[in-house]
Structure 1
Amino acid sequence: MLDEADRDAEAEAPLDMLEAYFAAHGWPCERHEEEITATVKGSWTEYELRALFREEDSVLQFLAFPDVKVSDERRAAIHETLALVNEQLWVGHFELWSSSGILLYRNASLIDAGEEEEATLSLAAAELLVESAIDECERFYPVFQFVLWGGKTPREAIAAAMVETQGEA
């Protein structure tokens, strides 16, 4: 998390702000015209983060790929899991790309610039967008693994992964 002085920075074009945010965290990133990608190490796996901004639609699409690929024979179970997981999300959703079997988290934000102004994203909004995507991937990664590799049903996987611990060991 960034300190209060960093949060007061002026808003910038969405991809410029995300590039600055990634750089501030020391995350490797690549920038192309309307897209930026970064790599982040989570506690379960490495995540590829990708943001695309379509100025004509004023939409910033943010994707997080938790390095999960689903085989054809496990897709039905994962689709049921996705339905149960997505019921618990307030912002964004998980989905499975049918052509590749890649699981991802997706969130889209409308960024209205108004008449004759450039669309901007504040540092606080960038932080919320990125951190909420990582948090949701971290929270539900075990659920997907229990279904894919642990032999659990989607409901069993959610029950097993969502156990909240109290205190510290």
Structure 2
Amino acid sequence: MSLVDIDYTPAPAAPIDMLEHVFDANGWAFERSGDEEISTSIKGGWATYQLRALWREEERVLQIIARADLTAPDERKMAIYETLGLINEQLWMGHFELWSSDSAVLFRHATLLDNDDDEHEPDLTIGQAEVLVEAAVDEFERFYPVFQLVMFADRTPQDAMAAALLETMGEA
């Protein structure tokens, strides 16, 4: 079962409107700031993720930002930067970064939405909205243990990647 669970297919809509449909259909409480921003919290297996979407109409860019309660200790920042590089090499969509103001690890992805009609906002489909939300949370879920091992268990980025991403064979 996927993270996003929607039983209907609404017509394509303005980006923030469509994300509101996704959040509402999944029972996620959300806060909306006009047509430019919406945020929610999504409980994952490792953490509760704060998801924020920002729409920039002039650029026609929708940006998704996911944060968890992961703050890099000062003495581990260089190791986290190395970890970010190793992780980002593996991503097809989005990237992780260390926010300079508070040392929080976050995931960001920007999507260019365009249409042939300059008088109206581009539409976002339900499928696109699902992919954007799932990608942010799924990638954080996938790499959360790596960040934990580097930040709090003093593992090297390479060891943390190997340990946390070890795929088990069969069933226990």
- Which category of TM-score, normalised to the shorter sequence, fits these structures? over 0.9
Aligned to 1:101: 103
- Measured in 1, the distance between the counterparts of 2:68 and 2:171 equals 27
Aligned to 1:74: 76
Match of 2:167 among 161, 164, 168: 164
1:75-154 equivalence runs, <5 A:
75-115=77-117, 116-154=119-157
Deviation at 1:119, TM superposition (A): 1.3
Question: In the alignment, residue 27 of structure 1 is paired with which amino acid?
Answer: W
**Which stretches of structure 1, 4 residues or longer, exceed 6 Å deviation after superposition?**
none
Secondary structure of the 1:67 match is strand
Question: In the alignment, residue 19 of structure 1 is paired with which amino acid?
Answer: E
Question: In the alignment, residue 64 of structure 1 is paired with which amino acid?
Answer: A
1:20-59 equivalence runs, <5 A:
20-33=21-34, 34-59=36-61
| Structure 2, gaps ≥5 residues long | none
- Measured in 2, the distance between the counterparts of 1:45 and 1:135 equals 11
Secondary structure of the 1:76 match is helix
Deviation at 1:151, TM superposition (A): 1.4
Secondary structure of the 1:117 match is coil
How many residues align? The count is: 167
- Measured in 2, the distance between the counterparts of 1:133 and 1:126 equals 11
CA RMSD between the two structures: 1.2
State the TM-score, normalized to the length of structure 2.
0.93
| Structure 1, gaps ≥5 residues long | none
- Measured in 2, the distance between the counterparts of 1:168 and 1:46 equals 27
Percent identity among equivalent residues?
53
- Measured in 2, the distance between the counterparts of 1:44 and 1:2 equals 20
